[in-house]
Amino acid sequence: MSYNTISKYLVTGEALFDRFVFSRELIPGVLTSMMDVREIRRILDEQRTLNKIKNLPQLGRPKVLTTLIDIETGKEYFFDSLVSASKFTKAIALNNTRYIPTSTLSCLKTGDSYKGWTLRKSGDT
């Protein structure tokens, strides 16, 4: 934890990690006060780790149920995410002629056709 970070929270009075308040005065009702710097560091490091673990799912993109329909055969392939669908197109593509990167799939809408596939995504109308 840097000096600037602690100074910011000391000046603003905001709670760090929505849990810790730094103050030069005693605060009524606090559970622990006058902690050693090593103890503060240990507690903050633990809280930072917990926050990272708790926030991991929020960092990723939400999964989008995806169906790819082969235009030539009419066969439907179902996937639990755009990444899975993209990997599938890469695995069966000859010379990458039918491969669709995840970034391209995310831009396409339901009903769009691209490289011999018609796309259907959950949540699209």
Q: Are 43 and 83 in the same domain?
A: no
- 53 and 75 assigned to the same domain: no
Do residues 90 and 96 touch, judged by C-beta distance below 8 A? Answer: yes
Which amino acid makes up residue 98? R
Whole-number Å distance between alpha carbons of 110 and 46: 44
Task: For the chain, list the strands marked E by DSSP.
Answer: 15-16, 20-21, 66-70, 76-79, 113-114, 117-121
Q: Which of 37, 59, 81 is the last residue of a domain?
A: 59
Give the number of domains in the chain.
Answer: 2
Query: Domain check: are 72 and 107 in the same one?
Result: yes
Q: What is the pTM of this model?
A: 0.49
Say yes or no: 81 and 106 in one domain: yes
- Residues 91, 88: Cα–Cα separation, whole Å: 5
User: pLDDT for 42-69, tens place per residue?
Assistant: 887 888 787 766 655 544 556 788 999 9
Domain hosting 91: range is 66-121
- pLDDT tens for 82-120 read 889 999 998 887 777 889 998 898 888 899 999 999 999
